[in-house]
Amino acid sequence: MLLVLLLFYIIVVVVEAVAWQPELRSFWEKESSKDDAGALVRAVRLELKRSLQVYPQLKSRDEAWDFLSKTTQRREDYVLIMKNRVFVDEAFIRIDKNNRHLQFVYSVTRVRELPDVAYLINRFAFGDRHPYPRGPPHFKPPCAREGGGDVDFELVISKYHGYEQCGVLIPNMYNFNELAKWNATTRTLAKAAKIRWKERQDLAFWRGQILAQDKCHRDHGNYARWQALALSRRYPEDLACHCLDGKPCKFRNDTKTPCVDLPYDETMRALHEEPREHHSEPMVGLEEFANYKFLLNIPGTISGSYSRHLNVLWSLAAVVLLWDSPHVEWYYPALRSGVTHVSVSAASVRDVILRLKNDHARAATLAYQAKRVHDLFLCADCVAHYFHLVLHAVAKRFALATVFDDNNSLVDDNNSLASSREKRKTLLRQITKNDLLDDDDDGGGGVDAKTSSVSSSRLLEVRFSSDPETIVPPSKSTTKSTPYMFVRRVAPTDEGGLAPTSEDFRLADWRPGKGA
Ligand SMILES: *[C@@H]1O[C@H](CO)[C@@H](O)[C@H](O)[C@H]1NC(C)=O
Ligand SMILES: *[C@@H]1O[C@H](CO)[C@@H](O)[C@H](O)[C@H]1NC(C)=O
Ligand SMILES: *[C@@H]1O[C@H](CO)[C@@H](O)[C@H](O)[C@H]1NC(C)=O
Ligand SMILES: *[C@@H]1O[C@H](CO)[C@@H](O)[C@H](O)[C@H]1NC(C)=O
Protein backbone atom coordinates (compact mmCIF):
# COMPACT_ATOMS: atom_id res chain seq x y z
CA MET A 1 0.00 0.00 0.00
CA LEU A 2 2.74 2.39 0.99
CA LEU A 3 4.62 1.53 -2.14
CA VAL A 4 1.56 2.24 -4.24
CA LEU A 5 1.16 5.61 -2.55
CA LEU A 6 4.80 6.37 -3.08
CA LEU A 7 4.59 5.42 -6.73
CA PHE A 8 1.49 7.58 -7.08
CA TYR A 9 3.32 10.46 -5.46
CA ILE A 10 6.31 10.09 -7.77
CA ILE A 11 4.11 9.98 -10.84
CA VAL A 12 2.19 13.07 -9.76
CA VAL A 13 5.35 14.97 -8.98
CA VAL A 14 6.91 13.99 -12.27
CA VAL A 15 3.82 15.02 -14.16
CA GLU A 16 3.72 18.36 -12.44
CA ALA A 17 7.36 19.17 -12.83
CA VAL A 18 7.28 20.17 -16.47
CA ALA A 19 10.56 21.96 -16.88
CA TRP A 20 10.11 25.52 -17.97
CA GLN A 21 12.47 26.17 -20.86
CA PRO A 22 13.51 29.76 -20.09
CA GLU A 23 14.25 29.13 -16.42
CA LEU A 24 17.67 30.51 -15.50
CA ARG A 25 18.69 27.40 -13.59
CA SER A 26 22.35 28.32 -13.25
CA PHE A 27 21.44 31.59 -11.53
CA TRP A 28 18.85 30.13 -9.19
CA GLU A 29 20.98 27.18 -8.17
CA LYS A 30 23.69 29.53 -6.97
CA GLU A 31 21.44 32.18 -5.46
CA SER A 32 21.34 31.77 -1.69
CA SER A 33 18.45 34.10 -0.88
CA LYS A 34 15.98 32.54 -3.28
CA ASP A 35 12.90 34.10 -1.80
CA ASP A 36 14.20 37.56 -1.36
CA ALA A 37 12.85 40.25 -3.70
CA GLY A 38 16.46 41.35 -4.14
CA ALA A 39 17.30 38.03 -5.78
CA LEU A 40 14.52 38.45 -8.33
CA VAL A 41 15.75 41.92 -9.20
CA ARG A 42 19.35 40.69 -9.42
CA ALA A 43 18.32 37.96 -11.85
CA VAL A 44 16.80 40.52 -14.21
CA ARG A 45 19.75 42.91 -13.93
CA LEU A 46 22.24 40.16 -14.51
CA GLU A 47 20.56 39.13 -17.75
CA LEU A 48 20.45 42.78 -18.85
CA LYS A 49 24.16 42.98 -18.23
CA ARG A 50 24.88 39.68 -19.96
CA SER A 51 22.85 40.57 -23.04
CA LEU A 52 24.68 43.88 -23.34
CA GLN A 53 28.09 42.31 -22.96
CA VAL A 54 27.59 40.55 -26.28
CA TYR A 55 28.43 43.93 -27.82
CA PRO A 56 31.95 45.33 -27.46
CA GLN A 57 32.48 47.96 -24.79
CA LEU A 58 33.21 51.25 -26.53
CA LYS A 59 35.65 53.61 -24.92
CA SER A 60 36.67 56.52 -27.04
CA ARG A 61 34.62 59.36 -28.32
CA ASP A 62 35.40 58.38 -31.88
CA GLU A 63 33.96 54.94 -31.32
CA ALA A 64 30.86 56.52 -29.83
CA TRP A 65 30.51 58.81 -32.85
CA ASP A 66 30.76 55.82 -35.14
CA PHE A 67 28.12 54.00 -33.13
CA LEU A 68 25.77 56.98 -33.40
CA SER A 69 26.48 57.49 -37.04
CA LYS A 70 25.81 53.86 -37.84
CA THR A 71 22.71 53.71 -35.65
CA THR A 72 21.10 56.74 -37.23
CA GLN A 73 21.54 55.30 -40.69
CA ARG A 74 18.77 52.80 -39.99
CA ARG A 75 16.12 55.41 -40.39
CA GLU A 76 13.11 53.18 -39.77
CA ASP A 77 14.53 51.84 -36.54
CA TYR A 78 16.44 54.40 -34.52
CA VAL A 79 15.31 56.57 -31.63
CA LEU A 80 17.39 59.46 -30.36
CA ILE A 81 16.83 60.85 -26.89
CA MET A 82 18.45 64.11 -25.93
CA LYS A 83 17.65 66.27 -22.91
CA ASN A 84 14.68 63.99 -22.26
CA ARG A 85 13.20 64.83 -25.66
CA VAL A 86 12.45 62.15 -28.22
CA PHE A 87 13.60 62.37 -31.85
CA VAL A 88 13.12 60.04 -34.80
CA ASP A 89 13.44 60.02 -38.55
CA GLU A 90 10.26 60.63 -40.49
CA ALA A 91 10.60 57.11 -41.92
CA PHE A 92 10.17 55.79 -38.38
CA ILE A 93 6.68 57.13 -37.75
CA ARG A 94 5.21 55.39 -40.78
CA ILE A 95 5.20 52.16 -38.81
CA ASP A 96 2.39 51.70 -36.32
CA LYS A 97 4.33 49.53 -33.88
CA ASN A 98 7.12 52.14 -33.79
CA ASN A 99 4.69 54.81 -32.77
CA ARG A 100 3.39 52.70 -29.93
CA HIS A 101 6.98 52.36 -28.78
CA LEU A 102 7.40 56.14 -29.03
CA GLN A 103 4.30 56.57 -26.95
CA PHE A 104 5.88 54.30 -24.34
CA VAL A 105 9.17 56.22 -24.40
CA TYR A 106 7.41 59.56 -24.22
CA SER A 107 5.32 58.37 -21.28
CA VAL A 108 8.52 57.36 -19.46
CA THR A 109 10.00 60.82 -20.04
CA ARG A 110 7.01 62.21 -18.14
CA VAL A 111 8.08 60.40 -14.96
CA ARG A 112 11.84 59.93 -15.41
CA GLU A 113 14.75 61.91 -16.75
CA LEU A 114 16.17 59.63 -19.44
CA PRO A 115 19.85 59.71 -20.40
CA ASP A 116 20.99 61.02 -23.76
CA VAL A 117 21.09 57.98 -25.97
CA ALA A 118 20.43 56.59 -29.44
CA TYR A 119 19.32 53.02 -30.07
CA LEU A 120 17.66 50.76 -32.60
CA ILE A 121 14.30 49.25 -31.76
CA ASN A 122 13.53 45.85 -33.13
CA ARG A 123 9.79 45.55 -33.60
CA PHE A 124 9.81 41.79 -33.85
CA ALA A 125 10.33 38.98 -31.39
CA PHE A 126 13.34 37.94 -33.41
CA GLY A 127 15.99 40.17 -34.96
CA ASP A 128 14.90 41.16 -38.44
CA ARG A 129 18.54 41.49 -39.33
CA HIS A 130 19.32 38.16 -37.72
CA PRO A 131 18.38 34.65 -38.75
CA TYR A 132 14.63 34.32 -38.97
CA PRO A 133 13.36 31.64 -36.61
CA ARG A 134 12.73 29.03 -39.26
CA GLY A 135 13.39 26.12 -36.99
CA PRO A 136 11.11 24.64 -34.34
CA PRO A 137 10.88 26.56 -31.06
CA HIS A 138 13.71 24.65 -29.42
CA PHE A 139 16.10 25.57 -32.23
CA LYS A 140 18.67 28.03 -30.85
CA PRO A 141 20.17 30.32 -33.44
CA PRO A 142 23.34 32.07 -32.32
CA CYS A 143 23.48 35.83 -32.04
CA ALA A 144 25.02 36.33 -35.45
CA ARG A 145 24.15 38.23 -38.53
CA GLU A 146 22.84 36.35 -41.52
CA GLY A 147 25.65 36.40 -44.05
CA GLY A 148 28.24 37.42 -41.46
CA GLY A 149 29.44 40.78 -40.18
CA ASP A 150 28.77 42.67 -36.98
CA VAL A 151 25.38 42.51 -35.36
CA ASP A 152 23.74 45.89 -34.85
CA PHE A 153 22.80 46.59 -31.27
CA GLU A 154 19.02 46.52 -30.84
CA LEU A 155 16.40 46.72 -28.13
CA VAL A 156 13.87 43.90 -28.49
CA ILE A 157 10.46 43.29 -26.93
CA SER A 158 10.73 39.51 -26.75
CA LYS A 159 13.05 36.75 -27.86
CA TYR A 160 11.37 33.89 -29.62
CA HIS A 161 14.16 31.38 -29.04
CA GLY A 162 15.29 32.44 -25.57
CA TYR A 163 17.85 34.75 -23.99
CA GLU A 164 20.71 33.86 -26.32
CA GLN A 165 19.16 35.71 -29.21
CA CYS A 166 20.59 39.15 -29.97
CA GLY A 167 19.45 42.29 -28.28
CA VAL A 168 18.47 43.73 -24.94
CA LEU A 169 14.93 43.14 -23.71
CA ILE A 170 12.54 45.98 -23.00
CA PRO A 171 8.78 46.07 -22.27
CA ASN A 172 6.48 45.66 -25.27
CA MET A 173 4.63 48.61 -26.73
CA TYR A 174 1.13 47.24 -26.22
CA ASN A 175 0.45 46.95 -22.52
CA PHE A 176 2.71 49.79 -21.56
CA ASN A 177 2.49 52.36 -24.32
CA GLU A 178 0.66 54.76 -22.04
CA LEU A 179 2.17 54.33 -18.62
CA ALA A 180 -0.27 56.65 -16.89
CA LYS A 181 -3.14 54.60 -18.26
CA TRP A 182 -1.43 51.34 -17.29
CA ASN A 183 -0.97 52.86 -13.84
CA ALA A 184 -4.71 53.39 -13.58
CA THR A 185 -5.44 49.90 -14.95
CA THR A 186 -3.20 48.28 -12.35
CA ARG A 187 -5.07 50.10 -9.59
CA THR A 188 -8.37 48.68 -10.87
CA LEU A 189 -6.84 45.22 -11.13
CA ALA A 190 -5.42 45.45 -7.61
CA LYS A 191 -8.93 46.10 -6.31
CA ALA A 192 -10.33 43.16 -8.28
CA ALA A 193 -7.53 40.93 -6.96
CA LYS A 194 -8.87 41.33 -3.43
CA ILE A 195 -11.65 38.80 -4.11
CA ARG A 196 -11.38 35.95 -1.62
CA TRP A 197 -9.79 32.72 -2.74
CA LYS A 198 -12.78 30.55 -1.92
CA GLU A 199 -15.09 32.83 -3.87
CA ARG A 200 -13.08 32.29 -7.03
CA GLN A 201 -14.04 29.64 -9.54
CA ASP A 202 -11.99 26.49 -9.42
CA LEU A 203 -11.11 26.72 -13.11
CA ALA A 204 -8.19 27.58 -15.36
CA PHE A 205 -9.40 30.54 -17.36
CA TRP A 206 -8.30 31.62 -20.81
CA ARG A 207 -10.10 33.66 -23.42
CA GLY A 208 -8.52 35.01 -26.59
CA GLN A 209 -8.25 34.85 -30.31
CA ILE A 210 -6.74 32.19 -32.51
CA LEU A 211 -5.17 32.95 -35.83
CA ALA A 212 -3.77 30.50 -38.32
CA GLN A 213 -0.26 30.72 -39.69
CA ASP A 214 0.53 28.90 -42.88
CA LYS A 215 4.06 28.12 -41.76
CA CYS A 216 4.47 25.34 -39.23
CA HIS A 217 7.24 27.05 -37.26
CA ARG A 218 4.96 30.04 -36.71
CA ASP A 219 1.78 28.20 -35.73
CA HIS A 220 2.79 26.81 -32.31
CA GLY A 221 0.93 29.47 -30.34
CA ASN A 222 -2.29 28.89 -32.27
CA TYR A 223 -1.95 25.14 -31.99
CA ALA A 224 -1.49 25.43 -28.22
CA ARG A 225 -4.66 27.54 -28.11
CA TRP A 226 -6.62 24.82 -29.93
CA GLN A 227 -5.17 22.28 -27.50
CA ALA A 228 -6.44 24.36 -24.59
CA LEU A 229 -9.90 24.62 -26.17
CA ALA A 230 -9.94 20.87 -26.73
CA LEU A 231 -8.97 20.18 -23.10
CA SER A 232 -11.64 22.58 -21.98
CA ARG A 233 -14.19 20.64 -24.03
CA ARG A 234 -13.07 17.38 -22.44
CA TYR A 235 -12.73 18.66 -18.87
CA PRO A 236 -15.15 21.57 -18.47
CA GLU A 237 -14.98 21.23 -14.69
CA ASP A 238 -11.25 22.11 -14.74
CA LEU A 239 -10.67 24.45 -17.67
CA ALA A 240 -12.63 27.36 -19.12
CA CYS A 241 -10.82 28.21 -22.36
CA HIS A 242 -12.70 29.82 -25.20
CA CYS A 243 -12.32 31.97 -28.27
CA LEU A 244 -13.51 35.54 -28.04
CA ASP A 245 -16.73 36.57 -29.73
CA GLY A 246 -16.03 38.85 -32.65
CA LYS A 247 -12.32 38.02 -32.79
CA PRO A 248 -10.64 35.56 -35.15
CA CYS A 249 -10.92 31.91 -34.16
CA LYS A 250 -9.18 30.20 -37.05
CA PHE A 251 -7.48 26.94 -37.71
CA ARG A 252 -4.79 26.05 -40.19
CA ASN A 253 -5.88 24.14 -43.27
CA ASP A 254 -3.78 21.07 -42.62
CA THR A 255 -4.39 19.61 -46.05
CA LYS A 256 -2.66 22.63 -47.50
CA THR A 257 -0.20 23.11 -44.63
CA PRO A 258 0.35 19.82 -42.82
CA CYS A 259 2.61 20.13 -39.78
CA VAL A 260 4.03 16.91 -38.39
CA ASP A 261 4.50 18.21 -34.88
CA LEU A 262 1.14 20.03 -34.77
CA PRO A 263 -1.44 17.33 -35.54
CA TYR A 264 -5.10 18.15 -34.91
CA ASP A 265 -6.81 15.47 -32.84
CA GLU A 266 -10.44 14.40 -32.97
CA THR A 267 -11.66 16.93 -30.41
CA MET A 268 -9.88 19.72 -32.22
CA ARG A 269 -11.37 18.66 -35.54
CA ALA A 270 -14.81 18.53 -33.97
CA LEU A 271 -14.28 22.08 -32.69
CA HIS A 272 -13.25 23.22 -36.16
CA GLU A 273 -16.36 21.71 -37.67
CA GLU A 274 -18.97 22.96 -35.24
CA PRO A 275 -20.39 26.50 -35.37
CA ARG A 276 -17.88 28.77 -33.66
CA GLU A 277 -20.48 30.11 -31.21
CA HIS A 278 -20.14 26.75 -29.48
CA HIS A 279 -16.59 27.50 -28.42
CA SER A 280 -16.68 31.30 -28.20
CA GLU A 281 -17.59 33.54 -25.29
CA PRO A 282 -18.04 37.30 -24.98
CA MET A 283 -15.17 39.59 -24.05
CA VAL A 284 -14.92 40.25 -20.33
CA GLY A 285 -13.18 43.06 -18.47
CA LEU A 286 -9.67 42.27 -17.26
CA GLU A 287 -10.76 42.63 -13.65
CA GLU A 288 -13.15 39.70 -14.15
CA PHE A 289 -10.15 37.42 -14.61
CA ALA A 290 -9.77 37.67 -10.84
CA ASN A 291 -12.86 35.51 -10.48
CA TYR A 292 -10.73 32.47 -11.29
CA LYS A 293 -8.11 30.66 -9.25
CA PHE A 294 -5.99 29.67 -12.24
CA LEU A 295 -5.07 31.88 -15.15
CA LEU A 296 -3.61 30.25 -18.18
CA ASN A 297 -1.19 32.00 -20.51
CA ILE A 298 -0.66 30.57 -23.97
CA PRO A 299 2.05 31.71 -26.42
CA GLY A 300 1.12 34.32 -29.01
CA THR A 301 -0.68 33.92 -32.32
CA ILE A 302 1.94 35.32 -34.67
CA SER A 303 4.96 33.16 -33.96
CA GLY A 304 4.26 31.55 -30.61
CA SER A 305 6.11 34.33 -28.83
CA TYR A 306 4.89 36.65 -26.07
CA SER A 307 1.23 37.29 -25.46
CA ARG A 308 0.17 40.71 -24.19
CA HIS A 309 -2.30 38.91 -22.00
CA LEU A 310 0.33 37.64 -19.59
CA ASN A 311 1.44 41.06 -18.45
CA VAL A 312 -1.97 41.54 -16.87
CA LEU A 313 -2.25 38.13 -15.22
CA TRP A 314 0.45 38.61 -12.56
CA SER A 315 -1.47 41.36 -10.83
CA LEU A 316 -4.59 39.31 -10.10
CA ALA A 317 -3.32 37.21 -7.18
CA ALA A 318 -4.20 34.00 -9.00
CA VAL A 319 -2.02 31.03 -9.91
CA VAL A 320 -0.36 31.76 -13.25
CA LEU A 321 -0.03 28.72 -15.49
CA LEU A 322 2.52 29.33 -18.23
CA TRP A 323 2.22 27.11 -21.26
CA ASP A 324 5.81 26.06 -21.78
CA SER A 325 7.61 27.92 -24.56
CA PRO A 326 11.19 29.09 -25.10
CA HIS A 327 10.29 32.76 -25.66
CA VAL A 328 11.27 35.33 -23.05
CA GLU A 329 10.36 38.84 -21.98
CA TRP A 330 12.42 41.27 -19.93
CA TYR A 331 11.41 40.08 -16.45
CA TYR A 332 11.47 36.33 -17.15
CA PRO A 333 14.87 35.84 -15.46
CA ALA A 334 13.02 36.36 -12.16
CA LEU A 335 10.55 33.56 -12.88
CA ARG A 336 10.81 30.00 -11.62
CA SER A 337 8.36 27.22 -12.31
CA GLY A 338 6.85 25.99 -9.08
CA VAL A 339 7.59 29.29 -7.35
CA THR A 340 6.25 32.25 -9.35
CA HIS A 341 4.11 30.18 -11.72
CA VAL A 342 3.69 26.61 -12.88
CA SER A 343 4.92 25.57 -16.30
CA VAL A 344 2.33 23.43 -18.10
CA SER A 345 1.86 21.59 -21.37
CA ALA A 346 -1.18 20.01 -22.98
CA ALA A 347 -0.14 16.74 -21.35
CA SER A 348 0.26 18.13 -17.84
CA VAL A 349 -2.09 21.06 -17.40
CA ARG A 350 -5.08 19.11 -16.10
CA ASP A 351 -3.02 17.20 -13.52
CA VAL A 352 -1.46 20.45 -12.36
CA ILE A 353 -4.91 21.96 -11.88
CA LEU A 354 -6.26 18.91 -10.06
CA ARG A 355 -3.31 18.85 -7.70
CA LEU A 356 -3.54 22.54 -6.91
CA LYS A 357 -7.27 22.27 -6.34
CA ASN A 358 -6.41 19.88 -3.52
CA ASP A 359 -3.56 21.90 -2.12
CA HIS A 360 -4.86 25.28 -1.08
CA ALA A 361 -1.74 26.31 0.77
CA ARG A 362 0.45 25.72 -2.25
CA ALA A 363 -1.98 27.45 -4.61
CA ALA A 364 -2.21 30.44 -2.28
CA THR A 365 1.59 30.70 -2.14
CA LEU A 366 1.83 30.62 -5.92
CA ALA A 367 -0.85 33.31 -6.16
CA TYR A 368 1.07 35.48 -3.70
CA GLN A 369 4.31 35.00 -5.64
CA ALA A 370 2.60 35.95 -8.91
CA LYS A 371 1.41 39.19 -7.38
CA ARG A 372 4.96 39.86 -6.26
CA VAL A 373 6.18 39.54 -9.85
CA HIS A 374 3.72 42.28 -10.75
CA ASP A 375 4.74 44.47 -7.84
CA LEU A 376 8.43 44.16 -8.65
CA PHE A 377 8.47 44.31 -12.43
CA LEU A 378 5.16 45.19 -14.04
CA CYS A 379 3.80 48.09 -12.02
CA ALA A 380 3.89 51.34 -14.05
CA ASP A 381 6.77 52.76 -12.05
CA CYS A 382 8.65 49.46 -12.24
CA VAL A 383 8.40 49.50 -16.02
CA ALA A 384 9.63 53.11 -16.18
CA HIS A 385 12.44 52.29 -13.78
CA TYR A 386 13.56 49.30 -15.82
CA PHE A 387 13.57 51.20 -19.12
CA HIS A 388 15.59 53.95 -17.47
CA LEU A 389 18.03 51.33 -16.22
CA VAL A 390 18.39 49.84 -19.70
CA LEU A 391 19.09 53.20 -21.34
CA HIS A 392 21.69 54.03 -18.71
CA ALA A 393 23.42 50.72 -19.32
CA VAL A 394 23.29 51.30 -23.08
CA ALA A 395 24.75 54.80 -22.77
CA LYS A 396 27.56 53.38 -20.67
CA ARG A 397 28.29 50.40 -22.89
CA PHE A 398 28.60 52.59 -25.98
CA ALA A 399 30.35 55.50 -24.23
CA LEU A 400 27.60 57.87 -25.33
CA ALA A 401 28.32 60.42 -22.63
CA THR A 402 31.56 61.20 -24.46
CA VAL A 403 29.46 62.55 -27.28
CA PHE A 404 26.41 63.98 -25.63
CA ASP A 405 28.07 65.78 -22.77
CA ASP A 406 28.20 69.35 -23.98
CA ASN A 407 31.17 70.30 -21.94
CA ASN A 408 33.30 67.25 -22.44
CA SER A 409 35.04 68.17 -19.26
CA LEU A 410 35.29 64.62 -18.04
CA VAL A 411 36.49 63.34 -21.33
CA ASP A 412 39.42 65.28 -22.56
CA ASP A 413 41.72 67.78 -20.96
CA ASN A 414 42.41 69.35 -24.30
CA ASN A 415 39.93 71.99 -25.20
CA SER A 416 37.99 69.73 -27.45
CA LEU A 417 34.63 71.35 -26.95
CA ALA A 418 34.82 73.11 -30.27
CA SER A 419 35.84 70.07 -32.22
CA SER A 420 33.22 67.99 -30.51
CA ARG A 421 30.65 70.57 -31.43
CA GLU A 422 31.76 70.40 -35.01
CA LYS A 423 31.42 66.67 -35.02
CA ARG A 424 28.05 66.86 -33.38
CA LYS A 425 26.89 69.36 -35.98
CA THR A 426 28.12 67.09 -38.72
CA LEU A 427 26.22 64.18 -37.28
CA LEU A 428 23.04 66.17 -36.88
CA ARG A 429 23.33 67.41 -40.42
CA GLN A 430 23.82 63.90 -41.58
CA ILE A 431 20.73 62.58 -39.87
CA THR A 432 18.54 65.51 -40.80
CA LYS A 433 19.60 65.50 -44.41
CA ASN A 434 16.67 64.98 -46.71
CA ASP A 435 17.10 62.32 -49.35
CA LEU A 436 14.96 64.17 -51.83
CA LEU A 437 17.45 66.95 -51.94
CA ASP A 438 20.59 65.01 -51.50
CA ASP A 439 20.63 61.38 -52.37
CA ASP A 440 24.21 60.47 -51.66
CA ASP A 441 24.77 58.76 -48.38
CA ASP A 442 28.36 59.63 -47.74
CA GLY A 443 27.43 60.69 -44.24
CA GLY A 444 29.58 63.77 -44.52
CA GLY A 445 26.84 66.37 -44.12
CA GLY A 446 28.13 69.59 -45.55
CA VAL A 447 26.90 73.00 -46.40
CA ASP A 448 24.21 71.95 -48.84
CA ALA A 449 22.70 69.51 -46.43
CA LYS A 450 22.76 72.11 -43.71
CA THR A 451 20.99 74.81 -45.67
CA SER A 452 18.40 72.44 -47.06
CA SER A 453 17.69 70.91 -43.69
CA VAL A 454 16.36 74.20 -42.39
CA SER A 455 13.29 73.79 -44.53
CA SER A 456 13.15 70.06 -45.06
CA SER A 457 14.88 68.25 -42.23
CA ARG A 458 13.63 64.71 -41.87
CA LEU A 459 14.34 64.60 -38.15
CA LEU A 460 11.21 64.90 -36.04
CA GLU A 461 10.66 65.60 -32.40
CA VAL A 462 7.77 63.54 -31.09
CA ARG A 463 5.35 64.28 -28.31
CA PHE A 464 2.00 62.96 -27.17
CA SER A 465 -0.90 64.59 -25.48
CA SER A 466 -4.56 63.83 -25.05
CA ASP A 467 -5.14 67.54 -24.99
CA PRO A 468 -4.50 68.97 -28.44
CA GLU A 469 -4.50 72.48 -27.03
CA THR A 470 -1.37 71.86 -25.05
CA ILE A 471 0.61 71.38 -28.19
CA VAL A 472 -1.24 72.66 -31.22
CA PRO A 473 -3.77 75.39 -31.80
CA PRO A 474 -7.31 74.36 -30.76
CA SER A 475 -8.94 71.82 -32.98
CA LYS A 476 -12.64 71.23 -32.57
CA SER A 477 -13.03 67.52 -33.13
CA THR A 478 -10.34 66.28 -30.78
CA THR A 479 -11.55 65.61 -27.29
CA LYS A 480 -10.99 61.88 -26.88
CA SER A 481 -8.73 60.71 -24.13
CA THR A 482 -6.34 58.63 -26.22
CA PRO A 483 -3.18 60.62 -26.77
CA TYR A 484 -2.51 62.17 -30.12
CA MET A 485 0.92 62.09 -31.54
CA PHE A 486 2.53 65.36 -32.45
CA VAL A 487 5.61 65.82 -34.51
CA ARG A 488 7.62 68.81 -35.50
CA ARG A 489 10.58 69.05 -37.77
CA VAL A 490 13.83 69.98 -36.12
CA ALA A 491 17.12 71.04 -37.62
CA PRO A 492 20.65 71.56 -36.27
CA THR A 493 21.55 74.88 -34.74
CA ASP A 494 24.95 76.52 -34.92
CA GLU A 495 25.57 75.40 -31.36
CA GLY A 496 25.20 71.77 -32.35
CA GLY A 497 21.75 71.47 -30.79
CA LEU A 498 18.36 70.92 -32.37
CA ALA A 499 15.66 73.52 -32.80
CA PRO A 500 12.21 73.51 -34.38
CA THR A 501 12.50 74.73 -37.93
CA SER A 502 9.47 77.03 -37.66
CA GLU A 503 5.95 77.11 -36.30
CA ASP A 504 5.89 73.64 -37.80
CA PHE A 505 3.97 71.77 -35.11
CA ARG A 506 1.61 69.39 -36.69
CA LEU A 507 -0.88 66.85 -35.67
CA ALA A 508 0.15 63.53 -37.12
CA ASP A 509 -2.71 61.44 -38.34
CA TRP A 510 -1.83 58.74 -35.93
CA ARG A 511 -3.54 57.38 -32.87
CA PRO A 512 -3.23 53.88 -31.48
CA GLY A 513 -4.99 51.43 -33.73
CA LYS A 514 -5.16 53.89 -36.58
CA GLY A 515 -1.61 53.51 -37.73
CA ALA A 516 -0.19 52.72 -41.11
C1 LIG B 1 1.36 56.03 -10.85
O2 LIG B 1 0.49 56.57 -9.89
C3 LIG B 1 1.12 56.94 -8.67
C4 LIG B 1 0.04 57.35 -7.70
O5 LIG B 1 -0.79 58.30 -8.25
C6 LIG B 1 2.12 58.06 -8.96
O7 LIG B 1 2.78 58.42 -7.78
C8 LIG B 1 3.13 57.57 -9.98
O9 LIG B 1 4.03 58.60 -10.33
C10 LIG B 1 2.43 57.05 -11.23
N11 LIG B 1 3.41 56.46 -12.09
C12 LIG B 1 3.39 56.54 -13.41
C13 LIG B 1 4.47 55.84 -14.14
O14 LIG B 1 2.53 57.14 -14.04
C1 LIG C 1 -7.73 23.25 -47.70
O2 LIG C 1 -6.77 23.19 -48.69
C3 LIG C 1 -7.08 22.26 -49.71
C4 LIG C 1 -5.86 22.15 -50.62
O5 LIG C 1 -5.38 23.42 -50.98
C6 LIG C 1 -8.33 22.72 -50.43
O7 LIG C 1 -8.66 21.80 -51.44
C8 LIG C 1 -9.47 22.81 -49.42
O9 LIG C 1 -10.62 23.33 -50.03
C10 LIG C 1 -9.07 23.69 -48.25
N11 LIG C 1 -10.08 23.60 -47.23
C12 LIG C 1 -10.66 24.66 -46.68
C13 LIG C 1 -11.67 24.41 -45.61
O14 LIG C 1 -10.38 25.81 -47.03
C1 LIG D 1 28.85 72.67 -18.45
O2 LIG D 1 28.90 74.07 -18.75
C3 LIG D 1 27.86 74.80 -18.19
C4 LIG D 1 27.97 76.23 -18.72
O5 LIG D 1 29.25 76.56 -19.08
C6 LIG D 1 27.98 74.70 -16.68
O7 LIG D 1 26.92 75.45 -16.07
C8 LIG D 1 27.90 73.26 -16.24
O9 LIG D 1 28.06 73.14 -14.87
C10 LIG D 1 28.95 72.45 -16.97
N11 LIG D 1 28.75 71.04 -16.68
C12 LIG D 1 29.76 70.23 -16.37
C13 LIG D 1 29.40 68.77 -16.13
O14 LIG D 1 30.88 70.60 -16.29
C1 LIG E 1 46.09 67.19 -26.36
O2 LIG E 1 46.89 68.30 -26.68
C3 LIG E 1 48.29 68.02 -26.71
C4 LIG E 1 49.04 69.32 -26.92
O5 LIG E 1 48.39 70.15 -27.83
C6 LIG E 1 48.54 66.99 -27.82
O7 LIG E 1 49.92 66.66 -27.86
C8 LIG E 1 47.71 65.74 -27.54
O9 LIG E 1 47.84 64.83 -28.58
C10 LIG E 1 46.25 66.09 -27.38
N11 LIG E 1 45.52 64.91 -26.96
C12 LIG E 1 44.37 64.54 -27.53
C13 LIG E 1 43.75 63.32 -26.96
O14 LIG E 1 43.86 65.13 -28.45
pLDDT band, residue 328 (cuts 50/70/90) = very high
| Mean pLDDT of all residues in 281-286 | 94
The gap between the terminal CA atoms of the chain, to the nearest Å, is 67
Question: Is residue 414 within 6 Å of ligand 4 at its C-beta?
Answer: yes
Q: In this structure, which ligand is nearest to the CA of 408?
A: 3
Residue 180 Cα, ligand 1 centroid: separation in angstroms? 7
Residue 341 DSSP code: B
Residue 142 Cα, ligand 1 centroid: separation in angstroms? 39
The pLDDT, as a whole number, for residue 510 is: 54
pLDDT tens for 39-77 read 999 999 999 999 999 999 999 888 998 999 999 999 999
Q: What is the mean pLDDT of the chain?
A: 83
Which residue's C-alpha comes closest to atom 3 of ligand 1?
183
Residue 416 Cα, ligand 4 centroid: separation in angstroms? 9
| Mean pLDDT of all residues in 419-448 | 59
| Mean pLDDT of all residues in 353-371 | 97
Which residue's C-alpha comes closest to atom 3 of ligand 3?
407
Q: Amino acid identity, residue 460?
A: L
The pLDDT, as a whole number, for residue 76 is: 93
Which residue's C-alpha comes closest to atom 12 of ligand 3?
407
Atom of ligand 1 nearest to the CA of 383: 13
pLDDT band, residue 165 (cuts 50/70/90) = confident
Q: Are the C-beta atoms of 105 and 176 separated by less than 8 Å?
A: no
Cα torsion through 31, 33, 38, 39, rounded to 10 = 30
Residue 111 Cα, ligand 1 centroid: separation in angstroms? 8
Question: Is residue 455 within 6 Å of ligand 3 at its C-beta?
Answer: no
Question: Is residue 414 within 6 Å of ligand 3 at its C-beta?
Answer: no
Question: Is residue 184 within 6 Å of ligand 1 at its C-beta?
Answer: no
Which residue's C-alpha comes closest to atom 11 of ligand 3?
407
Question: Is residue 477 within 6 Å of ligand 4 at its C-beta?
Answer: no
Half-sphere exposure of 184 (CA within 13 A, CB side): 4
Question: Is residue 477 within 6 Å of ligand 3 at its C-beta?
Answer: no
pLDDT above 70: residue 166: yes
- Which has more confidence, 5 or 210? 210
Q: Which range is most confident: 104-113, 418-427, 468-477?
A: 104-113
pLDDT tens for 400-424 read 988 887 544 333 444 455 556 677 7
In angstroms, the Cα distances linking 292 to 148, 188, 210, 472, 473 are: 50, 16, 22, 46, 48
| Spatial distance between the Cα atoms of 290 and 371, rounded to a whole number of angstroms | 12
Lowest mean pLDDT among 66-75, 134-143, 234-243, 447-456: 447-456
pLDDT tens for 374-394 read 999 999 999 999 999 999 999
